[in-house]
Amino acid sequence: MKIYFNGKLVPKEEAAVSVFDHGLLYGDGVFEGIRFYGGRVFRLDEHIDRLYLSARAIALDIPMNPDEMARAVVETIRANDLTDGYVRLVVTRGEGSLGLSPRSCPKPTIFIIASTITLYPDEMYQNGLKLVTCATRRIAHGALSPMVKSLNYLNNIMAKIEAEQAGAGEGLMLNEQGYVAECTGDNVFVIKNGAITTPPISAGALAGVTRAVVFEMARELGIPIREENITRYDIYTADECFLTGTAAELIPAVVLDSRPINDGKPGPITVRLTKRFRELTATTGTAIN
């Protein structure tokens, strides 16, 4: 396996981050997860744009322009002779002294991994995912904006631990006001009376790239869609529920807190959106070769 590491493609054994790197010491950095299908990178420009916005939000200056970063992603995939898989693109604050100040970090660390990923087993895509509400609340905007896709994922990890210990496939996270924010790694959508609703970014949700694709597909298919605060009641009483994420793609959710959502099976609108999403991933994207 070849890793893009600070401007060079190197064997994975040589892609070593310093123990003094602030990404490791403090979670100081940003990242993107990117999918590629059939020799095309899906929504590459959107992912690169979000990476640079996240970096700007934390005052991290990336020493490459977006076009150079996009080319590096494609080159890394090509170097690993892959046509389908997952990219993890990471930019840390870089190596520095002990202490929080980023002033001791003169140069960011950049690495890109191209590999494969299976977030959920196939049967969950066919039959649906079980959710459980987590006690861990989503970090508030005033503490750290959910718009920043940072390396500090401990909040999500603690909620994920709760979900796994409860035997659920994913954990539902609420904000401090009790509204649904998102799941531990996915955006959440509900469908009621033929219309789709998802929490607004202000509720604590990440502005997911796949989330944006759902808005595009819904408009194309003539399905009403809106951003609106929702509670667990809205999921308990929904006709359908599904989650989205780059790694998760689009997956139905059929149970919340041991309560079936409607009949406990993936619904027709979710199935329709999933079909269209797979068509898009199979036919669109930035060519690898």
Per-residue pLDDT reduced to its tens digit, 102-133: 999 999 999 999 999 888 889 999 999 999 99
In the annotation, is 149 catalytic?
Answer: yes
- Give CATH superfamily name and number for 122-283: D-amino Acid Aminotransferase, subunit A, domain 2 (3.20.10.10)
**What confidence tier does 163 reach under pLDDT thresholds 50, 70, 90?**
very high
| Comma-separated ranges of CATH 3.20.10.10 domains in the chain | 122-283
* Annotated active-site residue in 2, 8, 107, 149: 149
| Comma-separated ranges of CATH 3.30.470.10 domains in the chain | 2-115
User: What are the pLDDT digits (tens) for 209-246?
Assistant: 999 999 999 999 999 999 999 999 999 999 999 999 99
Q: Which CATH number fits domain 2-115: 3.10.129.10, 3.30.470.10, 3.40.50.2300, 3.65.10.10?
A: 3.30.470.10
Q: What is the 3-state secondary structure (H, E, C) of the chain?
A: CEEEECCEEEEHHHCCCCCCEHHHHHCCEEEEEEEEECCEECCHHHHHHHHHHHHHHCCCCCCCCHHHHHHHHHHHHHHCCCCCEEEEEEEECCECCCCCCHHHCCCCEEEEEEECCCCCCHHHHHHCEEEEECCCCCCCCCCCCCCCCECCCHHHHHHHHHHHHCCCCEEEEECCCCCEEEECCCEEEEEECCEEEECCHHHCCCCCHHHHHHHHHHHHHCCCEEECCCCHHHHHCCCEEEEEECCCEEEEEEEECCEECCCCCCCHHHHHHHHHHHHHHHHCCEECC
Total-model pTM: 0.96
